[in-house]
Amino acid sequence: GQQLNQSPQSMFIQEGEDVSMNCTSSSIFNTWLWYKQDPGEGPVLLIALYKAGELTSNGRLTAQFGITRKDSFLNISASIPSDVGIYFCAGRVDNQGGKLIFGQGTELSVKP
């Protein structure tokens, strides 16, 4: 079945540093999404990408939809303590509406 490989699994960084994480797949996806999950909450959408090569920003976050449609990355610039949480990538094939394939998550810890 379709799988997403997300890396790294965890990151420990200093406040103010930039962060990069990525997802790769052996399958093509037509939509890439990045979510953040805080303890005790559901995932919250950060960025949605719909076209190969698309580069989209949301504040300090930037994500790109890989040109092969098999990968995506998320960058966080100038990290702050509230960036702590688990970040998930997710991919979707067009005709699969609510069905997302999720990566295993990247747990981010930020040291003030």
Partner 1 sequence: KAGVTQTPRYLIKTRGQQVTLSCSPISGHRSVSWYQQTPGQGLQFLFEYFSETQRNKGNFPGRFSGRQFSNSRSEMNVSTLELGDSALYLCASSKTGGAGANVLTFGAGSRLTVL
Q: Looking at beta carbons only, is 43 or 79 nearer to partner 1?
A: 43
Minimum CB separation from partner 1 for residue 11, in Å? 17
The Cα–Cα gap between 11 and 6 comes to 12
Residues 33-92 contacting partner 1, CB under 8 A: 33, 35, 40-45, 48, 88, 90, 92
Residue 54 identity = E
Whole-number Å distance between alpha carbons of 91 and 15? 29
Among 105, 106, 108, 110, binds partner 1 (CB under 8 A): 105
**List 1, 14, 26, 82, residue binding partner 1 (CB under 8 A):** 1
A 10 A CB-CB count for 1 gives: 4
Give φ, ψ of 59 to 5 degrees. Answer: 65, -125
State the Cα torsion 28-31-36-41 to the nearest 10°.
-110
Cβ 16 to partner 1, closest distance in Å?
30
Instruction: Please give the residue ranges that form the binding site for partner 1 (CB under 8 A).
Output: 1, 31, 33, 35, 40-45, 48, 88, 90, 92, 96-105
